[in-house]
Amino acid sequence: MTELPSDGVAWAMLALAAALVGFSKTGINGTASLSILLFATVLPAKESTGALLPVLIIADLFAIRFYSRHVEWRVLGRLAPWVVVGTALGAVVLWFVDDTFMRLLIGAILLAMLGLQVWNRLRPKAVDPKPPSGLARRSAAAGAGVAAGATTMTANAAGPVMVLYLMLSGFPKLKFLGTMAWFFFAVNLFKVPFSVGLGLISWHTLLMAALLIPAIAVGALTGRTVAHRVNQQQFELATLALSAVGAGLLIVSSATS
């Protein structure tokens, strides 16, 4: 990115996107998918991923401030090595592969995971259900970690992956938000050297993120208010619905690009 946008409409779209990022981090996850599309509308597709990354990191800091006491460190430990693998794969994809096909694949995977979550909620529950085996937990962590790393590197779109993984794990609302906050803060910081190496982050993208801090703050404060006012069932349904919308938007954007 060599220069900042010069017209008011572009800045209004970027401010809306930044507010949605803040809201997604501290409230109902899933709205960040629209932010991806708004940034890609204002900026060239690949440059938009680098421009959005500092905005995501700033929003992560708000989420950590609000939910730092509610985090499941064991889950993050299981995911960490697989996220590294997925991020490296995503960097290779960005270098060699057309991202239109990648977005289509990501959207299809997310919709499949959503279907799994809906099936899990609707199927009859066993009277005395057996907890998942250690192998099942490790396999789920491996799949979610690689998918999250790859999708966040290629399109900043790992949110729906983690939404579905943590919901399948049965996380309550605040622990869900706290674990998501620390996960994405660590992952987004890890992505910075890759993005710099690919030429996706510059002083202009950092300046843009700084100018968007007020919009991020408005979204984050609104998200926290909403999160504390909805119950667990409402939170899960809204999060799943917005994740489905995000997956659909990725597929539509790939089909029309």
Is 73 a member of any domain?
yes
Dist. CA 7–CA 156, nearest whole Å:
25
Place of tokens 């599309």: 37
| Each residue's pLDDT tens digit, 144-164 | 788 777 777 776 667 767 777
Residue 212 belongs to what domain range?
8-256
| 1 inside domain | no
Residue 15: pLDDT band (50, 70, 90) is very high
90 confidence band (pLDDT: 50, 70, 90): confident
pLDDT at position 12: 94
Residues 6+ apart with CB under 8 A from 236: 167
Sign of the alpha-carbon dihedral angle for 15, 55, 155, 177:
negative
CB 59 within 8 A of CB 22: yes
Distance between the two ends of the chain, CA-based, in angstroms?
20
What's the full length of the chain, in residues? Answer: 257
Q: What is the pLDDT of residue 234?
A: 81
Q: pLDDT tens digits for 193-205? A: 888 887 888 888 9
Residue 3 domain flag: no
Provide the mean pLDDT of the chain.
79
State the pLDDT confidence band at 5, using cuts at 50, 70 and 90. Answer: confident
Residue 81 domain-assigned?
Answer: yes
Q: Is residue 2 part of a domain?
A: no
- Domains contained in the chain, number: 1
